[in-house]
C-alpha cells in the first residue's frame, strides 16, 4: 500500500466499506499526501490489506475514476489523475501561511512574526455585540453513547424510517424536479411544500391560511428570531412564560431589556392584565407549555384573546409538538380563534420528522409575512430547496402521516414506562401532560440541585436536563429538571430511572 494512504475501516460506522475507502483516498489526495501521478495499491493488494472483497475495492476505485480523482494507466495500474479536482495552495503571508510549510522548514524568525500578527486584533474591543449571555440547555454531542439518554429534542432510529425519506429524496433529485430544486428561490419557498402545509398541517390545528400568509423557516427557532426582529425593539415590553424556552428569552434579550416573565400553573400562563396592558406582545406555548407540558384551557385562551384585543397586544404562539397527541385529542391552536389577525403562529416540522431537518414555518397576515420574507432573504435567502422538496414528497406520498402514527405509538409506550418508573420511585413530583408530547417536567425535593444531579447521573450513563436555564436569571429554583423519552427505548427507562434515583439518594445521604 502507498505509505501515504492510511485507510482504517469501521464496520459499525453505518457507512459502507466502499464509501470509507473512497473517502480515505479522496482525503489523501485533497490533503496532498499523494500527488498527481502517484501510484495506488492494486485492487488485489488493497483488498488483502483491508481484508475486504476485491469487488468492494474495484467499485470504490471505479467511483473515484468516475469523479476524476484517479485513472488507470497501462503498466502502472491505478494512479492519481493529473487533473484531479485539487484546489491549488496559495502562498500568501497571513493567517494560513504557517500551514504551507513543513514545521521543520519554518524559519525561526518567520514563526514569531506570524504569531504576533494574529495577536494584534483585540476581538473583545472589536465586537459590537456579545452573545456570551446565552444559556442553552446543555446536551452532549455524544448523547448516543450514553445508555440512558433522557434528552429532549433528539430521537433514536426506531422513530424514523430512513428508507421512506431516501425514497422521497430520490424523487426530489429526479429530472422532473431538478430544475426547481437546484434553483435559487430568492425570497420564495417551494410551492409544493407550502401547499401541503396549507392543506395538511394547518387544518389539523384548525387554521386556514393562504400560501402568501406562510413563510418556511429553518425551524421554529428561526421563525421566533424573525418575529422578534420585526416586532420587538428597545422600547417594547414583552411578556413571556416563566419557566420558558431558554433560547426565546435569549433571542428577546438581543432586542429589549423590558421582558416581563409571568408564572405558569396547570392552565399555562397565568394572566395578569395589569402587566399585559402595559406590554406590546406576549410569546406563549398554550397547547403544550415549554417546559411544564401544561395545556391552556379554552376559557383562559378566550380571556387572553379578549385582553389582547382590548390592549392592542400581539400574541406569538409557538405550537411545537402539536403532532404528538397520543393521550387525547389536542386543543385547537390559539390561532384558530384569532378573529383580527393579531396571533402570529409558529410551527415546527422538525419535531415530527427528525430534529436535523430544521424546517418550520410562520403563519401571519400578509403584511408581516412580506417583511419576514425580506428579512429572511437578507439572512439566508431561503431554506435549502432539496430539503423543502423532499419533505413535500414525504407529505405527498403519505409517509408523513405514517411517521406521525409511528411516533404516537412508540411515544405512548415510553410515556407510560417513564410515568410508572417515576411514580414507583416516589422521589419525584412530575407534571402530567394533557395530550402527550415527549417529556416530563420533574420537581425534586427542595434540597436538590439538579445541576449537580445531572453531572453525577451522567457519570452513571444517565442524561437529564437541569431546569434552572428555563427560569429567569434572578435566583432560579434549582430542583427542577426535564426527562424526555424520544431518544431512549421503553425497555431501558425503568433501569435508567432507578439509577437516577440511586444517585439522588446518594446525594441526600451526603447532605450535612
> Quick one: angle between helices 162-172 and 385-396, nearest 10?
120
Cell 412508540 -> residue: 410
Dig out the grid coordinates for 419 from the structure. 410515568
Taken in order of first residue, the domains within the chain and their CATH numbers are 17-80 (1.10.10.10), 143-158+402-510 (3.90.1150.10), 162-397 (3.40.640.10)
Per residue of the chain (512 residues), give pLDDT as tens: 555 677 889 887 778 999 999 999 998 888 888 889 999 999 999 999 999 999 999 999 999 999 999 999 988 899 999 888 877 666 655 555 444 444 444 444 444 454 555 568 888 889 888 888 888 888 889 999 999 999 999 998 888 888 899 999 988 888 777 777 677 777 889 999 999 999 989 999 999 999 999 999 999 999 999 999 999 999 999 999 999 999 999 999 999 999 999 999 999 999 999 999 999 999 999 999 999 999 999 999 999 999 999 999 999 999 988 888 777 777 899 999 999 999 999 999 988 899 999 999 999 999 999 999 999 999 998 999 899 999 999 999 999 999 999 999 999 999 999 999 999 988 888 776 667 889 999 999 999 999 999 999 999 999 999 999 999 888 999 999 999 999 999 999 999 999 999 999 999 998 87
Residues whose CB is less than 8 angstroms from the CB of residue 217 and which lie 6 or more positions away in sequence, other chains included: 223, 226, 359, 360, 361, 362, 376, 383
DSSP 39: B
Tally helices (H) and strands (E) across the chain: 17, 16
Are 232 and 281 in contact by the 8 Å Cβ rule? The answer is: yes
Inter-residue contact 447 to 430 (CB < 8 Å): no
291 upstream amide cis, omega within 30 of 0: yes
Burial 51-72 (b: 16+ CB within 10 A, else e): ebeeebbebbbebbeeeebbbe
3-class state of residue 145 by DSSP: helix
Nearest to 309 by CA among 269, 270, 337: 337
Judge contact between 471 and 242, C-beta under 8 A.
yes
Q: What is the pTM of this model?
A: 0.82
Backbone angles phi, psi at 430, to 5 degrees: -110, 155
d(CA 71, CA 65): 5
Separation of alpha carbons 118 and 367, rounded Å: 47
Q: Give the phi and the psi of residue 212 in degrees, each rounded to 5.
A: -70, -5
SS (H, E, C) 288-348: CCCCCCCCCCHHHHHHHHHHHHHCCCEEEEECCCCCCECCCCCCCCHHHHCCCCCEEEEEE
Q: Which residues contact 213 (CB under 8 A, 6 or more apart)?
A: 363, 364, 365, 366, 369
CA 48 to chain CA centroid, nearest Å: 42
Give the residue from 291, 263, 240 showing the smallest Cα distance to 469.
291
Amino acid at each position: 500500500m502507498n505509505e501515504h494512504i492510511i485507510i482504517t475501516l469501521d464496520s459499525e460506522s453505518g457507512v459502507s466499506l466502499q464509501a470509507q475507502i473512497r473517502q480515505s483516498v479522496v482525503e489523501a489526495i485533497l490533503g496532498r499526501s499523494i500527488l498527481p501521478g502517484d501510484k495506488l495499491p492494486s485492487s488485489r493488494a488493497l483488498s488483502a490489506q483491508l481484508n475486504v472483497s476485491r469487488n468492494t475495492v474495484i467499485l470504490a476505485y471505479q467511483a473515484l475514476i468516475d469523479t476524476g480523482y484517479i485513472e488507470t494507466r497501462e503498466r502502472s495500474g491505478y494512479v492519481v489523475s493529473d487533473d484531479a479536482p485539487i484546489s491549488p495552495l496559495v502562498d500568501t503571508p497571513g493567517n494560513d501561511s504557517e500551514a504551507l510549510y513543513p514545521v521543520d522548514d519554518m524559519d525561526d524568525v518567520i514563526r514569531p512574526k506570524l504569531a504576533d500578527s494574529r495577536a494584534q486584533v483585540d476581538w473583545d474591543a472589536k465586537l459590537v455585540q456579545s452573545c456570551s449571555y446565552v444559556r442553552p440547555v446543555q446536551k452532549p454531542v455524544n448523547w448516543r453513547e450514553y445508555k440512558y439518554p433522557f434528552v429532549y429534542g433528539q430521537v433514536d432510529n426506531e422513530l424514523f424510517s430512513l428508507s421512506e425519506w431516501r425514497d422521497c429524496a430520490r424523487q426530489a433529485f429526479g429530472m422532473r424536479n431538478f430544475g426547481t430544486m437546484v434553483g435559487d428561490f430568492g425570497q420564495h419557498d417551494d410551492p409544493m411544500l407550502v401547499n401541503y402545509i396549507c392543506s395538511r398541517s394547518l387544518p389539523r390545528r384548525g387554521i386556514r391560511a393562504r400560501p402568501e400568509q406562510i413563510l418556511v423557516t429553518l425551524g421554529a427557532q428561526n421563525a421566533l428570531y424573525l418575529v422578534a426582529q420585526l416586532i420587538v425593539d428597545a422600547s417594547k415590553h414583552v411578556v413571556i412564560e416563566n419557566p420558558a424556552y431558554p433560547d426565546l428569552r435569549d433571542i428577546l434579550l438581543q432586542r429589549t431589556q423590558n421582558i416581563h416573565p409571568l408564572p405558569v400553573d396547570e392552565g399555562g400562563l397565568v394572566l395578569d392584565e395589569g402587566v399585559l396592558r402595559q406590554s406590546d406582545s406576549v410569546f406563549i406555548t398554550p397547547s403544550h407549555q415549554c417546559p411544564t407540558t401544561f395545556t391552556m384551557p379554552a376559557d383562559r385562551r378566550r380571556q387572553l384573546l379578549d385582553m389582547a384585543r382590548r390592549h392592542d397586544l400581539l400574541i406569538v404562539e409557538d405550537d411545537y409538538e402539536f403532532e404528538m397527541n397520543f393521550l387525547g385529542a389536542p386543543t385547537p391552536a390559539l390561532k384558530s380563534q384569532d378573529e383580527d389577525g393579531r396571533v402570529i403562529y409558529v410551527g415546527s416540522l422538525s419535531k415530527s420528522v427528525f430534529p436535523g431537518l430544521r424546517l418550520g414555518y410562520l403563519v401571519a397576515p400578509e403584511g408581516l409575512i412580506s417583511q419576514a420574507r425580506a428579512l429572511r432573504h437578507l439572512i439566508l435567502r431561503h431554506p435549502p430547496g432539496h430539503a423543502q422538496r423532499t419533505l413535500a414528497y414525504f407529505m405527498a406520498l403519505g409517509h408523513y402521516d405514517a411517521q406521525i402514527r409511528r411516533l404516537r405509538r412508540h411515544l405512548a409506550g415510553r410515556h407510560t414506562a417513564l410515568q410508572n418508573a417515576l411514580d414507583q420511585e416516589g422521589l419525584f413530583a412530575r407534571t402530567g401532560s394533557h395530550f402527550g408530547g415527549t417529556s416530563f417536567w420533574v420537581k425534586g425535593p427542595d434540597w436538590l440541585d439538579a445541576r449537580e444531579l445531572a453531572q453525577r447521573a451522567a457519570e452513571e450513563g444517565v442524561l437529564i436536563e437541569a431546569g434552572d436555564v428555563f427560569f429567569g436569571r434572578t435566583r432560579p429554583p434549582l430542583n427542577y429538571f426535564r426527562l424526555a423519552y424520544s431518544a431512549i427505548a421503553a425497555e431501558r427507562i425503568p433501569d435508567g430511572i432507578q439509577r437516577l434515583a440511586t444517585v439522588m439518594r446518594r446525594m441526600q445521604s451526603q447532605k450535612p
